[in-house]
Amino acid sequence: MALASSFRKILCAALAVASAVVFSANARAALLDSEIAKNLLPHKALYDIRMVTRHNGTSILNIHGEMGYEWRPDCDAWVTSHHFNLAYEYADAPVLNVVSDFSTYEPFDGKSLSFTSRRARGGDLYEELRGNASLGSDGTGNASYSMPPELAFSLSKGTLFPMKHTIALLKSIKSGQKFFNAVVFDGSDDEGPVEISAVAGKMVNGMTGLVPSPKLDASLLSGPAWFVRMAFFPAKTPAEEADYEMNAVIHENGIISDMRIDYKDFSVTQKLVALERLKNATCGLK
């Protein structure tokens, strides 16, 4: 009995130590997440989009336009908005102008997401998406669209929403890890979650590839930045070949200053041409 009692005490002590180690590790991870989130900078940006390569046989001759982007923390959530205005030039058709808007509302706990997306072609609306996604206590979840109402996706355990993915990616990079894989859902289209495989490269100068301009606040790009290569795969139908790949310069404060996106038929660059800081939400305080 004495031996059994002693064994139980040793076991309880070991479990207590193990729990303390796990708690400590979780606390450190949460602290790092908090520090990374705190460094993210509310900002408004404008990107110039240009086609840089095209493969033989593709009907698209050229793509050009711009994307306006805003990111800011609200009192309870991260709020983002994208506005694309693009012109597509074809060999045997008139220039096609496509305007699209996409916005998200992601509470700070990363457990839910509200999203809207609208696309117009030649001035006529041809796609509109609206919906909400949520994750349960076990990490799995669902995405349900109110428009179109029949569209829904199951979210596998560990799925991340956009801002949580940004924080997790920066955390991985700052921890010295070269590779980071995650399943991400953002609601920007009707294709569902994507698997993003990222490879972190060297630290780079934040103004690399950019043209200085009075509209571009270079002081917001003075901190650490890294070159990252990302490949995007459809999560619902695993494939060996990525749908598309992206090279990006990602800053510690969450700003992306330069991108090159490689599709199967062509590649486009998305370069930062204007950048300004946005004020933090006052949350009812004066």
Q: Where do the structural domains in the chain lie, given as residue ranges?
A: 40-277
**What are the structure tokens assigned to 191, written together?**
């294709």
**Which spans in 130-203 are helix H?**
162-174
pLDDT, position 133: 98
pLDDT, position 32: 57
Mean pLDDT, to the nearest integer, of 174-185?
96
Per-residue pLDDT tens digits for 14-24: 333 333 333 34
| pLDDT > 70: percent of the chain | 88
Note whether 173 and 226 are within 8 A (CB). Answer: yes
Confidence of residue 208 (pLDDT cuts 50, 70, 90): confident
> 5 φ, ψ to 5°?
-65, -45
Which 8-state DSSP code applies to residue 211?
P
Q: Which amino acid is at 271?
A: K
Using CA atoms, how far apart are residues 107 and 114, in angstroms rounded to an integer?
A: 9
pLDDT, position 81: 97
Is 0.95 topped by the overall pTM? Answer: no
Q: Are strands 256-262 and 60-73 parallel, antiparallel or unpaired?
A: unpaired
pLDDT, position 51: 98
Using CA atoms, how far apart are residues 283 and 76, in angstroms rounded to an integer?
A: 9
Using CA atoms, how far apart are residues 107 and 144, in angstroms rounded to an integer?
A: 17
pLDDT, position 82: 98
3-state secondary structure of 267: strand
Give 31 or 210, the one with higher predicted confidence.
210
| pLDDT > 90: percent of the chain | 77
Give 181 or 6, the one with higher predicted confidence.
181
Per-residue pLDDT tens digits for 81-106: 999 999 999 988 999 999 999 999 99
